[in-house]
Chains A and B, each alone.
Chain A
Amino acid sequence: MLTRLFVHELKLAWFKRQDVLLPLGFYLMAILVFPLGLTADIHFLQKAASGIVMVSLLFAQLLSLERLFKLDFESGLLDRYRTSSYDSSIIVLVKLLASWLAFLLPLLLLAPIISILLNLSFNTVIAMILVMITGTPFLTMIGGLGAALTLRVKQSALLLIVIILPLYIGPLVFMASAMNAAASGLPYNAELALLGAMSILSTALCPLLIGWIFRMLD
């Protein structure tokens, strides 16, 4: 059943491509525009690259959050899930993992383009990819918490960003510093381990909390 639900969610992401592509388009454009606005100095860009990439990633993720449960809420499917004998938390976990994958995969495909745009070294690109893989589960899971809390609010995008952005500061610091370390040839295992720990912890806890929030919805 879980695989069926997972496939169902991926299909949804595919058919609602615009919801996935909008944040990605935003991400790519932000990275394109930053160098134009800053300077053409390659050395400066290499130094600023980690910040540019990670901040853009953060905003792209924030843009994608509002949609997480909205469609199911509006179509009544969420009520159907809640009254079914499946645990809401399990359904939430599957949904969040699917939307994480739908967000991460195209992001990784863009990595080579970004490395050219920002003149990144091979090591830095590898670090960027690893950081994205280990860090984005946390972003999606915590974001899901915000999406669940603001589910009944119309035009919830701004409220959601206000709630979630402070929680993204921590991973942002580690993500950018891992990339910085890689750029200067230093090890970045510690940052990856921390990001991974945050992601695992949030993957374990957030679906439970979201399931609990759903039980409290009227």
Chain B
Amino acid sequence: MLELKQVGIQREFEWLLQGISCQAKAGECWHVIGPNGVGKTTLLRGIVGLRTIDAGEIYWQQQPVQENSDGFAKSLLYLGHQLGVTPVLTVVENLKHFAMLSHLPSAEIESSVANAAESVGLMHKLDSRAQDLSAGQKRRVGLSQLWLSSQSLWVLDEPLTALDVQACEMIQKRIAEHCQQGGMALVTSHQPLGCATNTLDLSTYLPSTEISSTRFDAEAWY
């Protein structure tokens, strides 16, 4: 279970979001929504530990993530806007690298990679360099990590951008499948998500005017 307790996010001494609390249980897919610039990406990066959160606490399996960072990292798959595809390597080399990062056992790597490539529809492109693929195909290479994952918590930032309708459905189906198997997912998307079981609307966590006065104190101090 992933639990956010009164989480707040600051940018340049200005509160972006405050008081976010939610509990994501096994089997749930949370759709994180909010207008551009509200801080969706910043929040997700805060949750996965790529930046610090400025208020509140994050609990993973009833323990603060700082105290259990190893266990948290083992169960976490984070895919940001950039999916980590290495342009000069071929599709299959990229996939094998992802499989290794997800702790798949060496014996299973070959079959998992073939399965993942099949699932994202890149079987015929296995030996092409990623840089020679189209934008959508590159995204598919990165998103193949969803089929190469052994992690239970998926944090996906805009996974559906640049994908065609079929691929969008395919990704959503995969997320739904993951949640049915007891995983959980936090997904930002501007498109409706069929697989979502819960919604976290960030526009309800904008800072109140009272709090934003501290921002001026901070600026004076600065």
Chain A residues in the interface with B (C-beta under 8 A): 1, 4-5, 8, 11-12, 15-16, 71-72, 74-77, 79-86, 217-218
Contacts and interface: CB of A to CB of B under 8 A. Distances in A.
A99 B116 CA distance: 30
A218 B86 contact: no
A74 B131 CA distance: 13
25 contacts: A1-B100, A4-B96, A4-B97, A5-B100, A8-B97, A11-B89, A11-B93, A12-B86, A75-B87, A76-B80, A76-B81, A76-B142, A77-B84, A77-B85, A79-B50, A79-B78, A79-B82, A79-B84, A83-B50, A83-B73, A83-B76, A83-B77, A85-B70, A85-B73, A218-B51
B121 interface: no
A218 to B, nearest CB: 5
B202 interface: no
B173 interface: no
B74 interface: yes
Which of B45, B48, B82, B96 has the most A CB atoms < 10 Å from its CB?
A: B82
A98 to B, nearest CB: 14
Contact of A85 (B48, B74, B81, B88): B74
Given A4-B100, A15-B89, A218-B51, A80 B73 contact: no
Specify the main secondary structure of chain A where it touches its partner. helix
A77 B89 CA distance: 13
Contacts of A79: 50, 78, 80, 82, 84
A84 B74 CA distance: 7
Interface string B80-106: 111111111100010011001111000
B16 to A, nearest CB: 13
Contacts of B79: 80
Contacts of A4: 96-97, 100
B49 interface: yes
Interface of B: 45, 48-51, 70, 73-74, 76-89, 93, 96-97, 100-103, 142
B123 to A, nearest CB: 22
Contacts of B89: 8, 11-12, 15
Nearest to A77: B84
B78 to A, nearest CB: 4
Which of A5, A83, A218 has the most B CB atoms < 10 Å from its CB?
A: A83
A76 to B, nearest CB: 3
Given A75-B86, A80-B79, A85-B73, 11 more contacts: A1-B100, A4-B96, A12-B89, A75-B84, A76-B80, A76-B142, A79-B78, A79-B82, A83-B48, A84-B102, A218-B45
Contacts of B74: 85
Q: Which 3 A-B pairs have the closest CB atoms?
A: A76-B82, A77-B84, A85-B73
Contacts of B45: 218
A4 B93 CA distance: 11
Contacts of A217: 50
B70 A80 contact: no
Which of A1, A77, A217, A218 has the most B CB atoms < 10 Å from its CB?
A: A77
Contacts of A11: 89, 93
Contact of A81 (B49, B88, B101): B101
Contacts of A74: 82
A67 to B, nearest CB: 12
Contacts of B70: 85
B14 to A, nearest CB: 15
Contacts of B48: 83
B206 to A, nearest CB: 21
A84 B78 CA distance: 8
A74 B84 CA distance: 8
A171 B70 CA distance: 38
A213 to B, nearest CB: 14
Nearest to A16: B88
Contacts of B76: 83, 85
Which of A1, A8, A16 has the most B CB atoms < 10 Å from its CB?
A: A8
Contacts of B49: 82-83
